[in-house]
């Protein structure tokens, strides 16, 4: 099936993805059609916003709604569904005070009108109250599970009951201002993550943090978090927005895009002018994109300058080493404009014709492969250094010693994004691989599941009328031989249907339907999640 099939959505059913829903007091049975593979035993966990307004105060941005955790449990061919709001400070205080209390990504929290000017003056000097609304993802650290967003707070949750256990401030352990919701996790359970930090003399850098696996003495691995390597920042007071990073067997890859956080604005204007996080982003139109690499163990920054045309970038697909090169596959958005400018809820809830009109102005999505040469010689000026036989990506040395990277385009179609990518991570994370799976965004509206062969560029698609899926997670068949021997799990919103949401299980080989488990309640948008065996 060609990815060019463009479903239209005149009924605007996608609006249901951005509507508040109630949490559940007990698990709900799902109606199964098809057969649930017997190796699925455990839970699919997902996170996203579930509360889109408090009292009569709305949240304005896609990343503002309060965190709701979803769980589908598999047992003996049966499926149950459960969900609960994460009891973050942002959520608890909003519910208690019936107003937006903590400023979110795109929504400013007004000061409490009951407090007088003096108390406001003092809270201003205590610094910024950073949101702990962990609506983006969930991942394991040691034997525990944490819900996360992109701030310094992660929230420990019980993945059986979905109860909130405790809020953890990563600033108490390592020099970091925040960590991403996209850590890399090794086979032994070691967790790596990246975040920006303040270095010496208030200059900026990006730190890679290592959290060790489960400790023999049962102590908390977070206590032993360490910064393993530091990447320099192109601008002293303006770090780039970082959402994920690449990791191979021996290297870290950090892509520094031209989308910047204006720290001075972030720190000063915040309490005075009614700023939110979105107000603090700007683009550096002259920087382009910088590609940094570092050795993993022991951590060591490799001071080589790799540059490319400006892109916005949220998700790495995979990275691997081959014959003295690092191959980096990622989901790019062309240009230097911040894609989050197009994710205001008002945009996403508009009529279909309006949704399309707005999206046409946005940066264009593209799946790209960059190749970084590890061995760079001065005298090779002006010549392509990439000698891998299977890619058209190039790396050309300039007179100033920097190397210009031109990507190979693996997939491109106007306003159709291959996003929220997933691979067979357990076996192929950081290794030479063939298949990527993704959520297809049609003018930012998620309406299909895609598969891409990164070697041949062949594509497969699953889609259905008035059906809005979420990121597909790959689960391998036990004793699998082939890389794509397994299933994809995704949650689909089907607003017009008798049962308005379902868990969909697809055969990862050809995206044919294996089974679905339908529930009686609507399920809003979810971003990321994990399968817990």
d(CA 319, CA 292): 13
d(CA 191, CA 174): 14
Tally of CB atoms within 10 A around 334: 16
Q: 410-433 burial, b for 16+ CB within 10 Å, e for fewer? A: bbbbeebbbbbbbbbbeebbbbeb
Tell me how many degrees the CA angle 157-163-164 measures, rounded to the nearest 5. 55
d(CA 497, CA 464): 12
Chain position carrying tokens 């010693």: 401
For residues 323 and 306, the answer to whether their CB atoms sit within 8 Å is: no
d(CA 444, CA 357): 11
For residues 405 and 310, the answer to whether their CB atoms sit within 8 Å is: no
**Residue 415 annotated in ligand binding:** no
d(CA 46, CA 490): 10
For residues 179 and 150, the answer to whether their CB atoms sit within 8 Å is: yes
Tally of CB atoms within 10 A around 283: 16
Q: Please, what sign has the CA dihedral across residues 225, 227, 229, 234? A: positive
329 Cβ contact partners less than 8 Å away, ≥ 6 residues apart:
316, 317, 318, 319, 367, 368, 369, 410, 436, 454
Please tell me whether the peptide bond between 13 and the residue prior to it is cis, using omega within 30 degrees of 0.
Answer: no
Burial of 295 (0-12, 13-18, 19+ CB in 10 A): middle
Q: Which two tokens stand for residue 22?
A: 């109630």
3 state DSSP class of 356: helix
Maximum distance among all Cα pairs of the chain, rounded to whole angstroms: 69
Q: Which two tokens stand for residue 229?
A: 């390597």
For residues 405 and 308, the answer to whether their CB atoms sit within 8 Å is: yes
d(CA 328, CA 4): 25
DSSP state of 233: P
Q: Which two tokens stand for residue 453?
A: 């062969």
Tally of CB atoms within 10 A around 6: 14
**Residue 184 annotated in ligand binding:** no
**Residue 315 annotated in ligand binding:** yes
Q: Which residues pair with 490 in a beta bridge?
A: 504
**Residue 70 annotated in ligand binding:** no
Q: Which residues pair with 507 in a beta bridge?
A: 487
Q: Which residues are annotated as a binding site?
A: 182, 243, 315, 528
Q: Which residues are annotated as a binding site for Fe cation?
A: 182, 243, 315, 528
């Amino acid at each position: 099936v060609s990815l060019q099939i463009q479903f239209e959505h005149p009924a605007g059913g996608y609006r249901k993805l951005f509507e508040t829903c109630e949490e559940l007091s007990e698990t709900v049975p799902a109606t199964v059609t098809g057969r649930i593979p017997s190796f699925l035993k455990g839970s699919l966990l997902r996170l996203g916003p579930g509360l889109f307004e408090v009292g009569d105060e709305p949240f304005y941005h896609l990343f503002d709604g309060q965190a709701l955790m979803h769980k589908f449990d598999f047992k003996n061919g049966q499926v149950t569904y459960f969900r609960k709001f994460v009891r973050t400070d942002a959520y608890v205080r909003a519910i208690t005070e019936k107003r937006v209390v903590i400023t979110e990504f795109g929504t400013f929290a007004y000061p409490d009108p009951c407090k007088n000017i003096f108390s406001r003056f003092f809270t201003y000097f205590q610094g910024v109250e950073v949101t702990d609304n962990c609506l983006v993802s969930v991942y394991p650290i040691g034997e525990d599970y944490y819900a996360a967003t992109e701030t310094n707070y992660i929230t420990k949750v019980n993945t059986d009951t979905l109860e909130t256990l405790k809020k953890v401030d990563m600033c108490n352990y390592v020099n970091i201002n925040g960590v991403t919701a996209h850590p890399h996790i090794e086979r032994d359970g070691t967790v790596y993550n990246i975040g920006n930090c303040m270095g010496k003399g208030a200059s900026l850098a990006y730190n890679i943090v290592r959290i060790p696996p489960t400790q023999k003495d049962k102590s908390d691995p977070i206590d032993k978090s360490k910064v393993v390597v530091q990447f320099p920042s192109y601008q002293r007071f303006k770090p780039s927005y970082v959402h994920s990073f690449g990791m191979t067997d021996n290297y870290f890859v950090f892509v520094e895009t031209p989308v910047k956080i204006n720290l001075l604005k972030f720190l000063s204007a915040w309490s005075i002018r009614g700023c939110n996080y979105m107000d603090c982003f700007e683009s550096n139109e002259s920087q382009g994109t910088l590609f940094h690499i570092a050795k993993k163990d022991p951590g060591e920054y490799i001071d080589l300058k790799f540059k490319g045309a400006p892109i916005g970038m949220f998700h790495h697909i995979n990275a691997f080493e081959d014959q003295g090169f690092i191959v980096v596959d990622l989901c790019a958005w062309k240009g230097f404009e911040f894609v989050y400018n197009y994710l205001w809820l008002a945009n996403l809830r508009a009529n279909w014709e309006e949704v399309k009109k707005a999206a046409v102005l946005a940066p264009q999505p593209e799946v790209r492969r960059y190749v970084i040469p590890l061995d760079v010689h001065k005298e090779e000026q002006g010549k392509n250094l990439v000698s891998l036989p299977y890619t058209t990506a190039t790396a050309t040395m300039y007179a100033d010693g920097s190397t210009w990277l031109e990507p190979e385009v693996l997939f491109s179609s106007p306003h159709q994004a291959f996003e929220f990518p997933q691979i067979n991570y357990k076996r192929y994370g950081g290794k030479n691989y063939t298949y990527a799976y993704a959520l297809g965004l049609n003018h930012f509206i998620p309406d299909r599941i895609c598969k891409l062969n990164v070697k041949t560029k062949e594509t497969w698609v699953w889609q259905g009328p008035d059906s809005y899926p979420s990121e597909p997670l790959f689960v391998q068949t036990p004793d699998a031989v082939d890389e794509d021997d397994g299933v994809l799990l995704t949650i689909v919103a089907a607003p017009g249907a008798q049962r308005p949401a379902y868990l969909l299980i697809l055969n990862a080989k050809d995206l044919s339907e294996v089974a679905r488990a339908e529930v009686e309640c609507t399920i809003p948008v979810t971003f990321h999640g994990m399968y817990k065996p």
